[in-house]
Structure 1
Amino acid sequence: MPPFLSKEQKIKLEPIRLCASCYTDAPYRRLEWQFKAIAGCHRHQVRLLHKCPSCERPFSIPELINEEKCKCGMYFWRLSRHQKRF
């Protein structure tokens, strides 16, 4: 993540995006995942996911905060194998 973000930095409210590898390390959302200029996780060198690869459902904030898996049963920590490298 860039150490400082400019006032011009735009946040993309939807879709909710995440790096499943980061989420596996510590299950909380990172604000930088929603910045328009950020397409992937620089730590893991993978593109961010915006929907469940199993059921194609977009992620929701309450689901990511309160659950450990998608409504289809796919655990969020398993999503990392579906992320593409960049």
Structure 2
Amino acid sequence: MNRSVNSILAVWILLMLGTATSTWGFTLSSVNPITSTISVMLISAVKAALVMFFFMELRHAPKAWQLAATIWVAITCAVVISIYLL
């Protein structure tokens, strides 16, 4: 396999681990609901960034687009978490 396929496979595995962690790991009764909700949101933000950079080819886009997309994900995640905590 070439390097591109290996990186896509590694990202896919990370996405699946993030899904498994947020689905199974944070549904246990011993985990604080606020902690689990914030953790799920942060994992979702990382997953969104990974999808944009590796599956939507943002990593080959100009740096300004990469920065804008990263800031958009961070702000969106921060706003949703802030609204949840209010």
- Category of TM-score, reference length = shorter chain: under 0.3
Higher relative contact order structure (alpha carbons within 8 Å, sequence separation ≥ 6): 1
**Larger-Rg structure:** 2
Higher strand share: 1
Higher helix share: 2
